[in-house]
Amino acid sequence: LPLDVRLTCTRILDMSEAELEDVTLGMLKQYGYPNSYTFTKAMAEHLLLEAGSCLPFCIFRPSIVGAALKEPFPGWSDTLSAAGGMFLAVGLGIIGELHAQGD
């Protein structure tokens, strides 16, 4: 990554929620990430590679990120892309059933 990940993490953790909201979009644009999920994922992977270079490890990523189980409240989603839009349509009663393959 074209930034000092440890320093960036330290600065982010020291920011208030309002400060973080002010800088997030600028950082995403500056470093070419579409959202905070992909940016923080890249930062975490970089830290793992840096800290665990002598250790075997594997990174597993979910194929679909859905609505929250508990936090900040059950069913919360910050996007309508991917499964989020489907979850909203089902929750609003627009979609009554989903057909899927059993395998």
Diameter of the chain measured on Cα atoms: 51
Q: Phi/psi of residue 53, each to 5°?
A: -60, -25
CA 11/CA 84 separation, integer angstroms: 30
Is 33 among the catalytic positions?
no
Is 31 among the catalytic positions?
no
> Considering 29, 31, 33, 37, which one is annotated as catalytic?
37
> Considering 29, 31, 33, 41, which one is annotated as catalytic?
41
| Residues with catalytic roles | 37, 41
